[in-house]
Amino acid sequence: MSTVSLKRGRAKPFFYGHPWVFSGSVARFEGTPADGELVTVVDDRGNFVAKGFYNGRSQIRVRLATWNPDEAVDAAYFERRLRLAVQLRENTLGLPAHTDAYRLVYSEGDGLPGLIVDRYADWLVVQILSFGFATRKADIVAALQSVCPGRHVFERSDSDVAEKEGIEPAVGPLAGPEPPELVPVTIHGIRLLVDLRHGQKTGLFLDQRDNWRAVVPYAEGRRVLDCFAYTGAFALFASVLGKAASVLAVEMSESALALARRNAELNGAGNIEFCQGNVFGEMRRLRAEEQTFGLIILDPPKFARSTGDIESALRGYKDINLIAMQLLEPGGILVTCSCSQHVDDAMFVGMLNEAAFDTSREVQVIERRSQAPDHPVSVTCPESRYLKCYLCRVL
């Protein structure tokens, strides 16, 4: 096994359990590690730190897998970690009692950095984001079949993160047949159809699952604007459970909007109007028409994919939040989200403050939310908390 030596003064975060060794922390190698190879990581004095998977093509040179020098990273390793992940969802959170769609494995949050597994009814959708894990795909599938017997396993390793890791895009069945065109699931009583092959991420934005329900108490009798509606989850919760007076759902993607319409029909939501178009442009049109709403939901895609994008991302967030404040009636509710890990809470609140100042509106944060608990945050990897969801009253 090759050894990766860290630069002096760089080992402390990894002794404490942070799983990402970036290229700038590496001093030298003993041996010539191949991409995907399991390596030993030591400090500048040669003291053992951890073992992990090396990848010379990634800025994250080593994704740490175990801090126990005697623990083998083999098929049994994956089964142990997967069982712990399943126990959290089934025993601690009790998710199967009220939904058949949730995140079963959340990468660093479950001690399996680079592995995502989402459950949709009888299907487990796997997304591999680590080259080391990609070379051990057979072990992962065998462990999933052991821990979750009877489930079909489908792969969606086609994200931009996988590309940066040097992983060849892969979409297809790993165990069992091809999934149907759409898989029906139920979340908090709302039925949704999921496209496992072509949908964003693995089909749904499951990290927002509990935030969808959080809008329900604020929707009754209000006119609702749902921006970046995707397949309509926020709109449906506001309409069906929240008893909104009406909902306008705006989405750029024609295919996503077509599925949103089917989801509305499936749930008997007849008061949702769907609008295909650029959200920025449509919000400006609504402002020009002097339309107002009692509840506005902003759930945009990731605006900042790296630290270099932060400034432009904050401009984009301010733009849509400023217009939303102008569209809200006095005392209206703004639900505003960011899934950009590189934009932290302080930056996001500062952006809201600027938008409030520029619109001469007073904004009160009444609830600060994050990703659903099936996306647990590891205390050793604070980056595993990325989703921000603020519920605000705008006066």
Burial environment of residue 26 by CB neighbours within 10 A (0 to 12, 13 to 18, 19 or more): middle
Assigned fold of 3-66: 2.30.130
Q: Tokens 């992962």, residue? A: 140
Reported as a single tens digit per residue, the pLDDT across 235-257 is: 999 999 999 999 999 999 999 99
Give the per-residue pLDDT at 362: 97
* Range 357-360 contact pairs with CB under 8 angstroms and sequence separation of 24 or more: 358/322, 359/322, 359/325, 359/326
**CB-based burial, 364-383: b 16+ in 10 Å, e otherwise:** eeeeebbbbbbbbbbebbee
Give the per-residue pLDDT at 125: 98
Give the per-residue pLDDT at 168: 87
Domains in the chain: boundaries = 3-66, 75-181, 205-394
Give the per-residue pLDDT at 255: 95
Reported CATH class of domain 75-181: alpha beta
- For residue 344, report the phi and psi dihedrals to the nearest 5 degrees: -85, 180
- For residue 342, report the phi and psi dihedrals to the nearest 5 degrees: -75, -15
Give the per-residue pLDDT at 319: 96
Joined together, the tokens standing for residue 269 give 């939501």
Give the per-residue pLDDT at 22: 93
Low-confidence ranges of the chain (pLDDT < 70): none
Assigned fold of 205-394: Rossmann fold (3.40.50)
Q: Which residues are catalytic?
A: 339
Integer Cα distance of 119 and 109 in angstroms: 16
